[in-house]
Amino acid sequence: MREAKRHARRDFIRLAAVAASGLIAAPAFAMPLLPPKRFVSFHHIDTGESLSVEYFENGQYLPDAASRIAHVLRDYRADEAHPIDPKLLDLLSRLHDSLGAGAPFTVICGYRSPATNAMRRAETKGVAANSLHMEGRAIDLRVPGIRLGAVRKAAIALKAGGVGYYPRSDFVHLDVGPVRHW
């Protein structure tokens, strides 16, 4: 009897260890895998500039692509570029793929200088004093051919940052700050 209890206990411990290892590994499997090569495509509504670029390859973000992206997403009012957070690029790549979008993102606003942010804040209700646009961590956009509500829903499902829905202004705000939506 005592021997049977010891075997049962050993079997239970083995089973628990296997189950625990599955739980530890689960987050890696739960994370959506990004492709080894990643692309983004933009058309900036105010400058008319477009860019379609591979920004990640062989486990590395590509510096030349990063500077080209920063240029297109610059604050055109101040003619000031700022590095764009790679997490935002990854979010955009995932969103584009999840939507099955064929067209580039239409950019309403990428990087925003502190001076432009202050001006926009004075003109428009709802512009944050410490906007993530000023850190290159936010973008306002729409996707041609896809309903704005569908863009919002897909972005929320990714659970990768903030999602703001502005149907009157015809754009969705995305950022790589805390996960939230409004």
Q: Is the pLDDT of residue 24 over 90?
A: no
Measured CA to CA, the distance from residue 69 to residue 84 in angstroms comes to 7
Higher pLDDT, 10 or 127: 127
How is residue 165 written in tokens?
């829905």
How far lies 6's CA from each of 1, 2, 12, 14, 17, in Å?
9, 6, 10, 12, 16
The pLDDT value given to residue 42: 97
Task: Enter the DSSP assignment of 140.
Answer: E
Predicted confidence band of residue 125 (pLDDT cuts 50, 70, 90): confident
The pLDDT value given to residue 18: 45
Task: Enter the DSSP assignment of 132.
Answer: G
User: Which backbone phi and psi does 139 adopt, to 5 degrees?
Assistant: -150, 145
